[in-house]
Structure 1
Amino acid sequence: MAHGASASESLLPPLTDGPHKKRLGLVAIIATFGGLLFGYDTGVANGAERPMQHEMGLSDLQVGVVLSSLVFAAAFGALICGKVADAIGRRTTIIILAVTFFCGTAIVVTSQGFTMLVLGRILLGLAVGGASAVVPVYLAEMAPFEIRGSLAGRNELMIVVGQLAAFVVNAIIAQLFGHQPGVWRIMFSICALPAIVLFFGMLRMPESPRWYVEKGRNEEALAVLKTIRSDERAEAEFAEVSHVAEEEHEQASKALGLRAVLSNKNLVYILLIACGLGIAQQFTGVNAIMYYGQRMLAEAGFNESMIGWVNIAPGVIAVIGGTTALYLMDRINRRTNFLWGLGLTALSHLFIVIGMAMFPVGNPLRPWVFLVLIVFMIGSIQLFLNLAVWVYLSEVFPLHMRGIGMGVSVFVLWVANGVIALNVPSVVAALGMGLFVIFAVANAISFLFVLKFVPETRGRTLEELEERVTDGSIFHSIGNKG
């Protein structure tokens, strides 16, 4: 198995096939509809924002506010829902998020003016941010440690599937109804469907057994584990989780959440590292393409009749990269993924700058060169980086601060996302393809950050990670494979 695998690996009974394995797979499918909604709601504006602007008579600034309101609201959704999930449970929080997705969609689709549009997008943003913080934690806590990366990583794959779905649906709707008023409302309305599936699906899913243990509800925790593990494995895992929880309550029963972080320099350190990874992920520039892809393709030289269809290409490569990353997630160390992803992304930004200089405006090859390089960039990010970052954030925090840790780090990630969403149009207007020079420098800095500061987490149970993070021993192996 992996370098750095823990002693816990040999102590726990091996995974087995059976109804419990299928049950765990169903749990993952239902929960990741939160990721699908995340992807669709962030991707749909790529094609809907221009007809929306035309029909509603919005200024460029108002369009920017409508788009970025979701992103900034997502930052607060992540921060709030991490704490809410600690209080009322992961499952209950996801059910509430499904209702919020549906209500936000209804307000956007029926809005008659700028204010209602922004209100609807804020509600969607709260749900998107909440899902981005809670769903990966729920999956990580339900998963056996041997396949935690690939199971928790399914959420990131569903995000890019949702974005691709938005791009394809937008292109089809634009082709069929492009000249009719309200076409953008149809585009936005589609995300009500997965919200309904998420709501009714999660009503039948179990709560996280690790959350039950944290709340002292041990019988319920063991009962849930026995539905998603063999009986022998469930009892062994329950004993390990309970032991760690008891030790934690003895040592820090009065220091939960943020207080626990501030009382331990190692917890502060891991939180800063997680926040740094969130910022690094956003400054890859992936969302400059996912949010403003059609505008940037027009800038590169594609005509209006082609933009909607060629815009699907980055979405397709994102799904291919994400699917491959899911397969490799439990086979390649997290640090290795980060370093390859940041290195290749920095190179892709440089290639874009050079390519656009070699093929000036008016050259018929210019838009196609840009598209190929953007596909290379998105492929590098999705294959090595995005999925690995979300998995890392879901597994690195100790149980008693997992909700608040995930909430704070994803809050920072979404603020960085909002900075990108707000500033890309004006930076492109001022610098053109010089935007990618900024991204190249940011990715080089991020590469050095990972190399110097980010510890490895693969091949260890959540309980061992908890102990090693809390006592600081995990930081001693930075730079090693374990």
Structure 2
Amino acid sequence: MSAEKSVKSDHVPLPDSTSNNINQNAERHLNHIAFISTLGGLLFGVDTGVINGAIGYMATPAELNLSPNNEGLVTSGITLGAAFGAVFAGHLSDRIGRKRLLKYLALLFFVCTLACSLAPNALFMIISRILLGLAVGGASVIVPTYLSEISTPEIRGRLVTQNELMIVTGQLLAFIVNAILGNWFGHISNIWRYMIGFGMIPAIALFFGMMVVPESPRWLVMVNQLDRAFDSLKQIRSHPKACREEISQIQDTLNQESEIKQATFKDLATPWIRRLVFIGIGLGVMQQFIGINIMMYYGTTILTNAGFAHNAALIANIGNGLISVIATFVGMSIMNRVNRRSMLIAGIIGTTSSLLLIVGISAFLSQSTLLPVLVVLCTMMFLGFFQGFISPLVWLLLSEIFPQNLRGLGMGVSTFFLWFANFLVGYFFPILLSAVGMTWTFLIFVFFNILSFIFAYKYAPETRGKSLELIQMEFKYGDTSGINPEDK
């Protein structure tokens, strides 16, 4: 039976009260589905955040005996794998479906997390972390895609940005678990194995959760499985008529997309396309070189260098995770009320000031008993500005600046460079810390922040209040850094 026939036979007029009830039930079900699928984002946060506390234990001679070089590779190997996972996940999900790929990624999360927790040496750990990164990168692409395809226009923004919130929540959760295990069971030499092994719990939850959520109706229409698309939509929409209309809209959109010639690397010869891709790459690299992941990956190391005992540093680091979650909430609530460029530039000024304060404190108050407290306050200030003003805005700008025919190429290249920059920061930070100390290491990142400010001031576009078509026309024919039309 076709989807069209199924719709007609199931469609029964509903009283207003019943219809409203179903609308509420459908939205409630959507929220449950969003929570399950964003466990992929939670896993991303847990697996990147857990190393913050575990690296100090595993680096000791009695355990994996990590050199600064190996410490950087263990920490950042996950982001090297993520760079490649992000590139290939989109094509793979188009072949096998969003739901099935997320189930496979949950298995990969579980197996690679188990391998990391059992790693007998540094090489095994590095390889396992790189493979784990494939799952992280894949989830970072597929979860927002899946959420955007199952949601309605009214709640799409909230559902998709929920993934960013789950990432920082996962990092906070990892910091809390690290602090509990480190303070209660820190006398156990291999406690880091239990810290890392904690990541298997949300991986199991994601795997079994994906068994009960529907497949993306848009993907089902793409592969011409209209009956299944209708069954999928019935679980998350108000009534059959809405399902029939949405399937028709998806078919029309897919037909229009099939007529659009997608950009390839050859199109980079066109100046405005080359400039747009350059801006996308710059935004991704800028976001990482500002230094967020020296805080999220090495927060405990930084606090230990500042004078905290290791167990106390694990507890203090929870404050960093808490600030990240609160700042992400704030950023999500104001990003549609403040001009993008102003918000981005203000965030970079804030992160630069935070790092300058750390440089000054570590240089001139190195013998002061206040040093640890002042450093943790500065890292919280840094995270507040970054997570509230910079991180959500960069992802939002990347989703807005690329026109439809350039989105695949632009997002793929930009995301790859973002992850690779993430890898470079994670890899070189412990090497720099060992070679030149905390003051000079943070001074280097101050320099990167200044470069990021110059880039954002010169190239970051203003997109608030503009249609995607207007943004594209401005890149092709005019300046994109002008005043928001709403403010004229």
> Same fold, TM exceeding 0.5?
yes
* Aligned position for 2:75: 67
* Aligned position for 2:122: 114
Deviation digits for residues 397-427 of structure 1, max 9, x if unmatched? 4556655543332211111011111111232
Contact 2:41 2:140 in 1 (8 A): yes
Deviation at 1:52, TM superposition (A): 1.2
CA distance in structure 2 between the aligned counterparts of 1:238 and 1:457, rounded to whole angstroms: 30
* Aligned position for 2:347: 341
Q: Which moved more, 1:170-179 or 1:130-139?
A: 130-139
Q: Summarize the alignment of residues 166-245 of structure 1 with structure 2, pairs less than 5 Å apart.
A: 166-215=174-223, 221=229, 224-225=232-233, 227-230=235-238, 241-245=250-254
With over 3 angstroms needed to count, the CA separation of the structure-2 counterparts of 1:477 and 1:392, relative to structure 1, is closer
* Aligned position for 1:10: none
Contact 1:149 1:330 in 2 (8 A): no
CA distance in structure 2 between the aligned counterparts of 1:221 and 1:468, rounded to whole angstroms: 33
* Aligned position for 2:14: none
* Aligned position for 1:103: 111
With over 3 angstroms needed to count, the CA separation of the structure-2 counterparts of 1:396 and 1:190, relative to structure 1, is farther
Contact 2:72 2:431 in 1 (8 A): no
Say which of 350, 360, 378 aligns to 1:354. 360
* Aligned position for 1:289: 295
Aligned length: 461
Contact 1:266 1:470 in 2 (8 A): no
Q: Summarize the alignment of residues 85-164 of structure 1 with structure 2, pairs less than 5 Å apart.
A: 85-164=93-172
* Aligned position for 1:447: 453
The structure with the largest alpha-carbon Rg is 2
Q: Which moved more, 1:336-345 or 1:466-475?
A: 466-475
CA distance in structure 1 between the aligned counterparts of 2:226 and 2:379, rounded to whole angstroms: 50
Deviation at 1:477, TM superposition (A): 4.6
Q: Which moved more, 1:470-479 or 1:91-100?
A: 470-479
Contact 1:274 1:393 in 2 (8 A): yes
Q: Which moved more, 1:110-119 or 1:467-476?
A: 467-476
Given the alignment of the two structures, is residue 278 of structure 1 paired with residue 284 of structure 2, yes or no? Answer: yes
Deviation at 1:107, TM superposition (A): 0.9
CA distance in structure 1 between the aligned counterparts of 2:36 and 2:97, rounded to whole angstroms: 16
Look up the SS of the partner of 1:479 in the other structure.
coil
With over 3 angstroms needed to count, the CA separation of the structure-2 counterparts of 1:438 and 1:143, relative to structure 1, is farther
Q: Summarize the alignment of residues 348-387 of structure 1 with structure 2, pairs less than 5 Å apart.
A: 348-357=354-363, 359-387=364-392
Contact 2:119 2:125 in 1 (8 A): yes
Identity of aligned residues (%): 40
Look up the SS of the partner of 1:478 in the other structure.
coil
CA distance in structure 2 between the aligned counterparts of 1:457 and 1:235, rounded to whole angstroms: 34
* Aligned position for 1:323: 329
Deviation at 1:470, TM superposition (A): 8.5
CA distance in structure 1 between the aligned counterparts of 2:225 and 2:450, rounded to whole angstroms: 47
Look up the SS of the partner of 2:259 in the other structure.
helix
Deviation digits for residues 83-126 of structure 1, max 9, x if unmatched? 32333333322222111100101111222223322222122111
Q: Summarize the alignment of residues 262-277 of structure 1 with structure 2, pairs less than 5 Å apart.
A: 262=268, 267-277=273-283
* Aligned position for 1:479: 482
CA distance in structure 1 between the aligned counterparts of 2:48 and 2:176, rounded to whole angstroms: 14
With over 3 angstroms needed to count, the CA separation of the structure-2 counterparts of 1:448 and 1:113, relative to structure 1, is closer
Say which of 297, 300, 323 aligns to 2:306. 300
Superposition TM-score, scaled by structure 2 size: 0.84
Q: Which moved more, 1:195-204 or 1:262-271?
A: 262-271
Deviation at 1:383, TM superposition (A): 1.1
**Equivalent AA in structure 2 for residue 367 of structure 1:** P
Superposition TM-score, scaled by structure 1 size: 0.85
Contact 2:49 2:174 in 1 (8 A): yes
Contact 2:474 2:480 in 1 (8 A): no
Deviation at 1:185, TM superposition (A): 0.7
**Equivalent AA in structure 1 for residue 483 of structure 2:** N
Residue ranges of structure 2 left out of the alignment (5+ in a row) = 1-21
Deviation digits for residues 123-173 of structure 1, max 9, x if unmatched? 211111111222223223333444433321111111111111111111110
CA distance in structure 2 between the aligned counterparts of 1:360 and 1:137, rounded to whole angstroms: 48
Deviation at 1:33, TM superposition (A): 0.6
Deviation digits for residues 303-326 of structure 1, max 9, x if unmatched? 334211112111111111112223
Deviation at 1:35, TM superposition (A): 0.8
Contact 1:339 1:451 in 2 (8 A): yes
CA distance in structure 1 between the aligned counterparts of 2:196 and 2:225, rounded to whole angstroms: 41
Contact 1:32 1:154 in 2 (8 A): yes
CA distance in structure 1 between the aligned counterparts of 2:220 and 2:484, rounded to whole angstroms: 33
Deviation digits for residues 341-396 of structure 1, max 9, x if unmatched? 22322222223223334x42111112211111111010111111212323444565
With over 3 angstroms needed to count, the CA separation of the structure-2 counterparts of 1:34 and 1:336, relative to structure 1, is farther
Residue ranges of structure 1 left out of the alignment (5+ in a row) = 1-15
Contact 2:324 2:383 in 1 (8 A): yes
With over 3 angstroms needed to count, the CA separation of the structure-2 counterparts of 1:230 and 1:37, relative to structure 1, is same
Contact 2:69 2:427 in 1 (8 A): no
CA distance in structure 1 between the aligned counterparts of 2:272 and 2:96, rounded to whole angstroms: 27
* Aligned position for 2:260: 251
Contact 2:68 2:431 in 1 (8 A): no
Deviation at 1:181, TM superposition (A): 2.9
With over 3 angstroms needed to count, the CA separation of the structure-2 counterparts of 1:305 and 1:102, relative to structure 1, is closer
* Aligned position for 2:468: 465
Q: Summarize the alignment of residues 388-399 of structure 1 with structure 2, pairs less than 5 Å apart.
A: 388-394=393-399, 396-397=401-402
* Aligned position for 1:409: 414
Deviation at 1:458, TM superposition (A): 5.3
CA distance in structure 2 between the aligned counterparts of 1:476 and 1:244, rounded to whole angstroms: 30
Say which of 36, 40, 43 aligns to 1:34. 40
